[in-house]
């Protein structure tokens, strides 16, 4: 069970022990109750740690003292230090790409130096709500400051430049929340000359801004977690696990498609005859999630996703996309209802005017829904490979 600790402080260890004890006794379901593929297996916080030196100033105000970023690498960095593929993970992912995208590591770590980092505010090793605040010597919890996608992208570029020492990045790749980070990294590098040069961009099932539809879904999930805690300033991250389970169940519906659910479950009932199979599956997913994530991190990361707007403070989205000339391969999934293909088409339409043949779009036909960017790995990897061969 990951605890996302970044220090050996006794109070932090005690908090993590309480979290582990609480989740150990949760009711488990057999894998027979999960007939639909899951996008993640067992995740951990393995990797190396980059510690930002000083006060990291946040876009919306506030700062974090010496924030830490957990990252993991695969393959070898070349002499020119420019064969880097940086992978940005989705909402509940981690830095260990092999645990959720093994085929990517197998295929690309032979020629490229693959790097992935846990997001700022994340659950798997980077500074976040379960970390110790060096100013108060207490766990951040709900007091963890507001972080934007742009903040996370910026500290990633800092890490690549100051910790890894890369001279430029062959490509940034990411799906969903990871796609938002990837786009921001490309903008910061190419339009604002921040950090090492990003030479290629591959956003999967992502968009230019978080829409009202997506914010609304996140808001209801957060409300599930915050039920009964509205007036409690001491909201504890290890409480209301039922709310986190409900949030995850709702998310799992939006991550898939109507056709996918119908094909897997139809109107079948579970073996105990007291529940629909689809209900048993969602119950299983909700309970399973409790063993690997905590409610406060979920709240803070979904809030971070809601900040996504590449046009903020830059003269608008159209201006940014029209100016971004980095070679780009946009990928979407036909049945995605959470980040529908129309949003990838929007990215393409706005970029192609000045980017020309440097920007391409492919929508993969699949009933897997939003999670198709993780589940349709063969097609996704082929598109990435073809794209990487089109530019130096």
The pLDDT profile of the chain, 392 residues, written as one tens digit per residue, is: 333 333 333 333 333 333 333 333 333 333 333 346 556 768 999 999 999 999 999 999 999 999 999 999 999 999 999 999 999 999 999 999 999 999 999 999 999 999 999 999 999 999 999 999 999 999 999 899 999 999 999 999 999 999 999 999 999 999 999 999 999 999 999 999 999 999 999 999 999 999 999 999 999 999 999 875 655 555 554 556 888 999 999 999 999 999 999 998 999 988 877 789 999 999 999 999 998 998 999 999 999 999 999 999 999 999 999 999 999 999 999 999 999 999 999 999 999 977 778 999 999 999 999 999 999 999 999 999 999 999 99
Q: In whole angstroms, give the CA distance from residue 245 to residue 289.
A: 7
Catalytic residue among 89, 123, 308, 370: 370
List, as one string, the DSSP characters of 68-130: EEEEEEES---TTS--EEEEE--TT--S-GGGT-HHHHHHHTTTSEEEEEPPTT-SSSSSSTT
Q: Any idea which residue has 């919306």 for tokens?
A: 60
Residue 231 lies in a domain: no
| pLDDT on residue 42 | 82
Among this protein's residues, is 370 annotated catalytic? yes
Is residue 252 a part of any domain in this protein? no
> Is the residue at 24 inside a domain?
yes
Burial annotation 41-78 (CB, 10 A radius, 16+ → b, else e): eebebebebbebeeebebeeeeebeebbbbbbbbbebe
Q: Is residue 66 situated within a structural domain?
A: yes
In a domain, 248, yes or no: no
User: Is 336 among the catalytic positions?
Assistant: yes
Angle at 15 between CA 9 and CA 20, to 5 degrees: 125
Candidates 96, 126, 131, 176; catalytic one: 176
CATH of the domain at 166: 3.40.50.1820
Which domain covers residue 353, as residue numbers? 10-213+304-388
**Considering only CA atoms, which of 327, 328, 331, 326 is closest in space to residue 382?**
331
Total number of domains constituting the chain: 1
pTM of the model: 0.88
Q: Does residue 257 fall inside a structural domain? A: no
Active-site choice (336, 366, 371, 387): 336
Q: Is residue 342 part of a domain?
A: yes
Indicate the SS3 state at residue 200.
coil
Q: Could you tell me if residue 103 is inside a domain?
A: yes
Q: Is 385 a catalytic residue?
A: no
């Amino acid at each position: 069970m990951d605890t996302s600790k970044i220090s050996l402080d006794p109070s932090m260890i005690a908090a993590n022990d309480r979290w582990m004890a609480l989740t150990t006794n949760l009711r488990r379901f057999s894998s027979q109750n999960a007939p639909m593929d899951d996008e993640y297996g067992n995740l951990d916080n393995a990797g190396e740690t980059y510690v930002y030196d000083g006060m990291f100033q946040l876009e919306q105000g506030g700062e974090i003292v010496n924030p830490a970023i957990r990252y993991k690498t695969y393959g070898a960095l070349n002499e020119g230090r420019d064969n880097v593929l940086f992978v940005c993970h989705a909402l509940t992912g981690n830095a260990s790409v092999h645990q959720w995208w093994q085929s990517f590591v197998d295929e690309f770590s032979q020629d490229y130096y693959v790097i992935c980092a846990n997001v700022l505010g994340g659950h798997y090793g980077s500074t976040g709500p379960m970390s110790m605040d060096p100013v108060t010597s207490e766990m951040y919890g709900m007091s963890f400051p507001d972080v934007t996608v742009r903040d996370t992208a910026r500290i990633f570029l800092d890490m690549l430049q100051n910790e890894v020492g890369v001279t430029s990045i062959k490509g940034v790749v990411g799906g969903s929340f990871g796609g938002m980070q990837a786009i921001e990294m490309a903008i910061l590098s190419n339009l604002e000359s921040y950090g090492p040069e990003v030479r290629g961009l591959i956003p999967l099932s992502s968009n230019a801004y978080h829409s009202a539809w997506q914010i609304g879904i996140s808001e209801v999930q957060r409300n599930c977690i915050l039920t009964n805690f509205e007036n409690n300033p001491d909201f504890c991250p290890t409480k209301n696990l039922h709310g986190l389970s409900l949030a995850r169940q709702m998310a799992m519906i939006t991550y898939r498609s109507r056709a996918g659910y119908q094909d897997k479950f139809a109107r079948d009932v579970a073996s105990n005859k007291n529940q629909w199979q689809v209900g048993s599956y969602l119950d299983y997913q909700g309970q399973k999630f409790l063993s690997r994530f905590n409610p406060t991190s979920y709240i803070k990361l979904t809030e971070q996703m809601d900040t996504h707007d590449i046009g903020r403070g830059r003269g608008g989205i159209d201006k940014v996309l029209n100016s971004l000339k980095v070679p780009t391969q946009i990928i979407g999934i036909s049945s995605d209802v959470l980040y529908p293909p129309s949003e990838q088409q929007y990215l393409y339409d706005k970029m192609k005017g000045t980017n020309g043949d440097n920007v391409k779009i492919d929508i993969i036909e699949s009933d897997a829904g939003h999670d198709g960017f993780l589940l349709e790995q063969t097609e996704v990897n082929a598109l990435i490979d073809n794209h990487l061969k089109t530019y130096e």
